Structure 1
């Protein structure tokens, strides 16, 4: 005979109401008690028929997506994908709430996370800022039983349940290999622009880029990293100043956003002295045009829609205590040149 919820309650020494709260990821259960129930579930081999349980209870999964505000075209696209998912959410028995926070603002993100503690959602997907105060806020939220998925920008694995995004170290390595191949045999300097080193995806991309470019083209010198905070005006000023200081600049890698400002600075330079090899992230209408006109040499892209759908699938699976299909949730890195634009 298959184990029942009564068997779990007896094995854990708790009430049926407590077992129900744990199984349905509701608040009001202490961490130690939750651990006892989960241990009992594992020991007796309880397997829940989630489809039947959800149908019987007409269960709705309350999910929250926390996305940065600003002029970042990729984040605007990500927000649109979340809004589209929210529009069809009732068909999938989920209720999605989208919350905007200022980009790269750890204090604002902490305030947002703490606002969820009063009535914790079943799951949260968050574009993370990697700061100690954010770590602590996420730990407090997870103690309520909320499942946390990091989206696009990751945190240490112990702090979250899953990451929905590309392997950003691999993305940086890919950019480094492309830069090394494009500049094969040349010497010179390469400029790197980040949005902020407070976010894990930018740090990871920088690590991978440095590692691979040094392996392939050790004669190229990477200049100190500049931070644009993904602001096009700041990116324009940084690139214009760098081109003025280094007239023979060999390459530029923008591992964040703000590409409109970058391209504006390159456009001003195009006819006077030529432009450096330039690699950026995210295929948008603007970067597509810059690829076609030769101001940008390569774009590394991630599918925002896939990331949002993956986050939803993972949140639902983890809420239900079901396994995640790793192959389905792997987000690929697309490489676009002028020659293979879709």
Structure 2
């Protein structure tokens, strides 16, 4: 049987109200008595039931999720998973407050953070965009004791408690290895397409990609980076202009979204001029492109896992309860035409 708060009170020789004050760091307990309660907790191996405690105090934890609302299909899935999680948590004293923000816009993200009510928000999860204003707002949340989790794109030098997402450097290295091996020793130019090099996940993926290409495939040159802001038309026109300027390319790595624009260009090319392509995130467009041979590999991350993990991490930070670390690892998935789910 798991020890209860009654067992702790009996072992420490105090009342239930005293144990409750100690567990919740409330004043009114002498230091010696508090130490006796803590010793009983350690001796019995008591683990606090955070849900029961919240129910007893009629507390509702509001978790704010700030998610970009641009053209990225992955961000749409992230938001959909957050809304589904909010429905599942209804009645369990957790409220998910999902707030869309413009993508790649540090000032807009800072404004969204500034608009949060520190009296009602218990935790915050956000897709990080770097900027001094964002850093200042995260510092304000930290000073108020509100835990912050970054999703998908990290900001490790900023005040945040944890990052939830794949290792983006490793994802970039994986893309470089796949593309280099698919090309089988062929030499030539590679084009890298990003949404914006102002977000850390895209920067880290490019960093990992370059590490592998430069060290393992010296015949390949990944010297061209295009930014399409994850938009179909902007990506399509940037890639068309690049092909006209650079001539034939042998490989393409799409770091972010904008898959539709890339597919538009690939479909217009003769088959013999199409590059080997590695992209991110499995969706309707990349699935069809894999099946049609326009894309050769897709690196994927589980949006639902990330949302559920962010919720668990925030609740752990709020309640001071332990996590199962293995459950919170977001793994890199690789899909080819042959193993599509």
* TM-score under structure 2 length normalisation: 0.86
**Aligned equivalents of 2:61 and 2:98: distance in 1?**
14
- For residues 44 and 285 of structure 1, what CA distance do their matches in structure 2 show? 54
- State the Cα distance separating 1:142 from its structure 2 match: 1.6
Please state whether the residue corresponding to 2:145 is helix, strand or coil: coil
Partner of 1:192: 192
Where does residue 168 of structure 1 map in the other structure?
Answer: 168
1:307 aligns with 2:322: no
Structure 2 unaligned spans of 5+ = 1-10, 13-17
Structure 2 match to 1:202: 202
Question: What residue in structure 1 maps to residue 71 of structure 2?
Answer: 71
Offset, 1:162: 1.3
What's 1:287 paired with?
286
1:160-207 CA-to-partner distances (Å, cap 9, x unmatched) read: 111111111110010010011011211101001111112111111011
Structure 1 match to 2:338: 339
- Matched with 2:19 is 4
Q: Could you say what secondary structure the match of 2:90 adopts? A: helix
Cα root mean square deviation, aligned: 2.3
Give the Å deviation of 1:6.
5.1
Q: Which shows bigger deviation, 56-65 or 111-120?
A: 111-120
CA distance in 1, matches of 2:22, 2:123: 27
CA distance in 1, matches of 2:21, 2:331: 44
Tell me, in whole angstroms, the C-alpha distance in 2 between the residues paired with 1:172 and 1:53. 43
Distance (whole Å) between structure 2 residues aligned to residue 175 and residue 158 of structure 1: 28
Which residue is equivalent to 2:139?
139
Residue 104 of structure 1 pairs with residue 104 of structure 2: yes
The 3-state SS of whatever aligns with 2:128 is coil
The structure with more radius of gyration: 2
1:274 counterpart residue number: 273
Q: How has the CA–CA distance of structure 1 residues 307 and 249 changed in structure 2, closer, same or farther, with 3 Å as cutoff?
A: same
Distance 1:224 1:254 in 2: 12
Aligned to 2:67, what secondary structure does the other structure show? strand
Q: Which residue does the alignment assign to 2:323?
A: 324
Distance 1:92 1:270 in 2: 56
CA deviation profile, 1:10-52 (whole Å, cap 9, x unmatched)? xx9x845xx9xxxxxxxxxxxxxxxxx9xx99x9567772344
Unpaired segments ≥5 residues, structure 1: 20-36
SS at match of 2:154: coil
Question: Which residue of structure 1 lines up, in the alignment, with residue 178 of structure 2?
Answer: 178
- Distance in 2, Cα, partners of 1:263 & 1:65: 31
State the distance in 1 between where 2:157 and 2:91 align: 31
The equivalent of 1:129 in structure 2 is 129
Alpha-carbon offset, residue 62 of structure 1: 0.8
Scaled by the length of structure 1, the TM-score of the pair is 0.86
Structure 1 residues 65-74 or 244-253, which shifts more?
244-253
**Using the alignment, how far apart are the partners of 1:5 and 1:129 within structure 2?**
40
Q: Is the 8 A contact 1:266 1:295 kept in 2?
A: yes
Corresponding residue number in structure 1 for 2:6: none
Change (3 A) 1:7 1:57: closer
Residue of structure 2 in register with 1:232 after alignment: 232
Say how many residue pairs are matched: 316
The CA deviation string for residues 291-321 of structure 1, in whole angstroms up to 9 with x for no partner, is 1111111100001011001111111111001
SS across alignment from 1:88: helix
Distance in 2, Cα, partners of 1:308 & 1:219 = 40
Deviation (angstroms), 1:53: 1.7
